[in-house]
Each structure stands twice: as structure tokens, then as C-alpha cells.
Chain A
């Protein structure tokens, strides 16, 4: 064997013992220092681009600029007109969302409690989840007429299936070890569900709620566009539709901006807060 490939024999040494070091935290604060800049900067750039494009097109009927839209938006808020429409929309949305959540939890309970329920709910969700809620609107109008009933039906449909799908998947994914630990401590029935299964499935339940909320919001606006106001009270979709008819395009844009802003606000204030104090804090979601 050739000695060329033998590594050299080196002397050993032992480092002298030193005092225990402080925890290895070199610097505090976020590593990604510029991340807070990104979103507002992107938004600002988009707004400037929009304004430039609008000035270049130079046609208020087709494309009002950012400033003009902002003016229409502020006027709408100041006169209370826009706030009225938003209130009508949000009131019906909250009712439909809560009803949908209640039904979804009932279906989830059915889906995770026995085998037949599981097959049934699996079939139902795979049938109805891909079906756009707005496609049911003609039927809803036939059954419930022009009014709240029809809106509630399409809202419930848009919330129930994604939430059921996510929540039941979450319950099925609860680790077997955790279930056994619960049984080990003598938990059963409702205590098992509330103290082990629901918290363990919370990441999926929250993401189901988030998707359900977004579906409900877009379905409501679309439904309001189709059949507008009932008994003189219109929602945000109706506001958009009516202003388009009257060619107040800046108000159409203000209405669209309101839809986006409310969606963002709920996402940031409600869902991100919920996630921060629960699943993120517990390390169940990053």
C-alpha cells in the first residue's frame, strides 16, 4: 500500500476549559430588515403606474386615475353613501358566513364520527366544492325569490364545502400519539374533542375559515351585481352595478377598491391575528 495516501499522524491536544458562554444570540431583531418596505413600496408603484396609464389613456369613462378614484372614494365615505352600502353587504355576509360555519361544523362532525358519514361527506364535498356558488343563484331566486333568502343560500353554499373539506381533513390528520395520550388520561367524548382534537386540527380549521370567508365575500358581490337591491337597500355590488349604468366610472373604481380594502382588512385584522395568537405561537404553522 502506498504511503502517499496515508494521512499524517498529528499530535492530540485538549482545549482548556472556559466559563460557560452566554446564549449564542449574536444580534436581536429580524434578520430580514427590509421586508416591511416591500409591500407598501409595491403598492405605491402600482398606484403610480395606474395614474400614469390613466393620464395616457385620458378617458374618464374608461379608466379614471388613482387620484380621481380616491376623490370618489372619499366623497362616498364623507356623504355616508358608500358606508351605507358596505353596511348592508357586511350584515348579510356575516349572517351567511356564520350560518355556513355552523352547518360546516355539523357536517364535519358527521364526517369524522362514523364511516358512513365520512363516505357521504366525501361524496358531497367532491360534488359541490367545485360548483361555483353563483351558479346556484338562478335556482336560489326560484326558491327564495328576490331577497335575503337567496343571498343566504349562495353564501352558505360558498362557505360550507371548503370549510368542511379543510376541517375534516384536519381532524383526520390529528396524530395517533396525541389521541392515545388523550385516552391515556381518561379523556373521551366531548372532552376529547374540545381538549385534543379541535386544537390539534386548528391550523386546518383556520385555513378553511379563511378560504370560506374569501369565497363568501366574492360570491356576495357577484350576487349583488346580478339582482341588485331589495326593498330599496342595496349592497356594495349594487353600488358598483348602478354606477356603471350611470357611467360614474370613478365610483365603480371606488366600489372595487372598497371590496379589496375590506377583504384585506378582514384578512389582516381577523385571520392573521387569530393565527398569530394560536397556531403560529404554538409552532404548528410558520
Chain B
């Protein structure tokens, strides 16, 4: 496994392209529009963050890119080919701890998608050992998930995803269920992994600070239905600069963009956008 240098070549074509994506899902009260006409491009090596309050459709958008939901309108392309269904080139790291089958040990969990995808057993073993070492869980290879802490489970899920070497790693609020201290160290570790390997990542969060720390580019979504509010750069920030004046300013700017400055607050629509009752 060789580390891919993320910076030396930026291809002219985006890796992941979302064009005018409108997503709807059926709820008990009718069809709800989750996102409306959302477009963005993710380039190779990006740490692209979807940020917005609940109801902005960011998780639904990630699931659509994962292939679990078909867009109502618009298109999603990965490397030029349209997204038609779930596939191992877009591995999802979920927030929920039950994403790890409890009947498989840590190592079996990492092996599982590789073996299901037809990777030879010997190679899968080597890759599993490598990635478990990378996330610091080599000693826990034979432990069952229920014996691990929340942070360790998140690490297993990340190792499992990276071992698949997906074209893009989809992270659906992966640290939201962790305590604040663990979340911070997971953000550090994710940053270190990215510095080393330079994978492409799409990261969903509702925390402005996490978005600034984790991402290099942030798509701001406003809720009900999810619409693009802004697309911002955040490559200049890291955990080290989290207390700086610029960081505070960026946080406040995003907050103002999402919730409106007090004086010129836009009319908020509290109702979910029901398309058909």
C-alpha cells in the first residue's frame, strides 16, 4: 500500500459530481423534500464537509451518494459514471455503533467487506492487519465489538472502510455519538491518517467547529428543504488553530450564514417542505 500524495496533481475533472440533486423521502405525513437543487463538486483528496442544522438533508444527500436513495431530479456521478446503487467504491462510516456486526471480531469485521468483495484471503489479512495497526487496534484484533469503547468501535469502522480503498469515504456524523474528549482525539487521528494517505472523504456534521477542523471545503446547507447556502474554504484551519481569532471569526461567519445575523434574519420556514400530502 503506497501513500498517494494528495497535492501534486489535481485532476481537472472532479471525482464526485452532484448536479441539481433533489431528494425526497416518504414519511408518515407524505413526501418530504430533503434537498432541493443541490450541486457541488468533490475533487480527489478533498475533505469535503456537508454542514447544516438538522433537516437540511445532509445525511440524506450522503445516503444518495452511497446509492441507498435515488435522486428525484438531478444526477450524481462518481468518476464519470452515474451512481445507481450501493457499491464498495463508496464505503460509508455510520454514526451508529451497530454498524459493526457483533458476531464478528474486530479483525473479521475489517476482513468482511474485503472478502465479500472478492479480495483474496491472504491479501485481505495483510490489509486488515495494516489498517488495524494504523488505527491503533492491533492488540484488539480478536476482541468482539461489545467489549470495545465507542471510540474504538469508530476506529474499527474507519479501518474497515479504509481497508476497502474506496474511491470516496462517506462519513455520516461518525463522531456524533462519542463524548467530547474522544471526539477530539478521533478528529486528530483522522487528520493524521489523511495527512499520511490522502484519501477522498465526504464528511457530514452539524458541528461548525468540527467542519472547520476536519474539512478543507465546506458546503453549507440551509434546512427545509436543504438548499446550498454557501461553499467555503477551511483548509487553513486545524485542531491547532481552533482557538485562534481567525477560527472564531470563521465560526461566527458560518453561524450568521446559517441562522442569519440578528438584524437581517431571513424569514425562517419552520414547516418541513411537504411536497404532496
Residues of A at the B interface (CB closer than 8 Å) are: 175, 177-178, 180-181, 183-187, 191, 195-196, 199-200, 202, 278, 281-284
Extra contacts, 7 of them, besides A183-B68, A283-B147 (Cβ < 8 A), are A180-B86, A183-B85, A184-B86, A186-B88, A191-B116, A282-B103, A284-B103
- In the complex, which residues of chain B have a beta carbon less than 8 angstroms from the beta carbon of A278? 103
Report which of B92, B103, B145, B147 forms a contact with A184, defined as CB distance below 8 A: B92
A224 vs chain B, min Cβ distance (A): 39
- Let me know if B86 and A284 touch, CB within 8 A: no
CB of B91 closer than 8 Å to a CB of A? yes
B15 vs chain A, min Cβ distance (A): 18
> Quick one: CB contact mask for B79-90 with A, threshold 8 Å, 1 for yes?
000000111101
- Let me know if B98 and A178 touch, CB within 8 A: yes
Overall SS of chain A's interface: helix
CB of B66 closer than 8 Å to a CB of A? yes
Separation of A278 and B112 alpha carbons in the complex (Å):
18
- Let me know if B103 and A185 touch, CB within 8 A: no
12 A-B pairs whose Cβ atoms sit less than 8 Å apart in the complex: A177-B94, A178-B98, A183-B86, A184-B91, A184-B92, A186-B88, A191-B116, A195-B112, A195-B116, A282-B144, A283-B147, A284-B102
From B102, which residue of chain A is reached at the shortest CB distance? A282
From B66, which residue of chain A is reached at the shortest CB distance? A184
- Let me know if A175 and B96 touch, CB within 8 A: yes
Known contacts A177-B94, A180-B68, A180-B94, A185 near B117 by CB under 8 Å? yes
Separation of A282 and B144 alpha carbons in the complex (Å):
6
Report which of A177, A191, A195 forms a contact with B99, defined as CB distance below 8 A: A177
From B85, which residue of chain A is reached at the shortest CB distance? A183
- In the complex, which residues of chain B have a beta carbon less than 8 angstroms from the beta carbon of A175? 96, 98
From A179, which residue of chain B is reached at the shortest CB distance? B68
- Let me know if B103 and A199 touch, CB within 8 A: yes
Most central of B66, B103, B116, B117 by chain A CB within 10 Å: B103
Interface size class, chain B? 20 to 34
- Let me know if B103 and A186 touch, CB within 8 A: no
> Quick one: CB contact mask for B53-96 with A, threshold 8 Å, 1 for yes?
00000000001001010000000000000000111101110101
- In the complex, which residues of chain B have a beta carbon less than 8 angstroms from the beta carbon of A185? 88, 91, 112-113, 116-117
- Let me know if B86 and A186 touch, CB within 8 A: yes
Separation of A281 and B147 alpha carbons in the complex (Å):
10
From A185, which residue of chain B is reached at the shortest CB distance? B113
Q: Closest 4 interchain pairs by CB?
A: A283-B146, A185-B113, A183-B86, A177-B96
Known contacts A180-B92, A186-B86, A202 near B103 by CB under 8 Å? yes
Separation of A199 and B101 alpha carbons in the complex (Å):
9
Separation of A177 and B90 alpha carbons in the complex (Å):
15
- Let me know if B144 and A184 touch, CB within 8 A: no
- Let me know if A283 and B88 touch, CB within 8 A: no
Separation of A180 and B117 alpha carbons in the complex (Å):
15
A205 vs chain B, min Cβ distance (A): 13
- Let me know if B98 and A184 touch, CB within 8 A: no
Separation of A282 and B103 alpha carbons in the complex (Å):
5
> Quick one: CB contact mask for B135-175 with A, threshold 8 Å, 1 for yes?
00000000011110000000000000000000000000000
- In the complex, which residues of chain B have a beta carbon less than 8 angstroms from the beta carbon of A178? 98-99, 101
- In the complex, which residues of chain A have a beta carbon less than 8 angstroms from the beta carbon of B88? 184-186
- In the complex, which residues of chain A have a beta carbon less than 8 angstroms from the beta carbon of B87? 184, 186
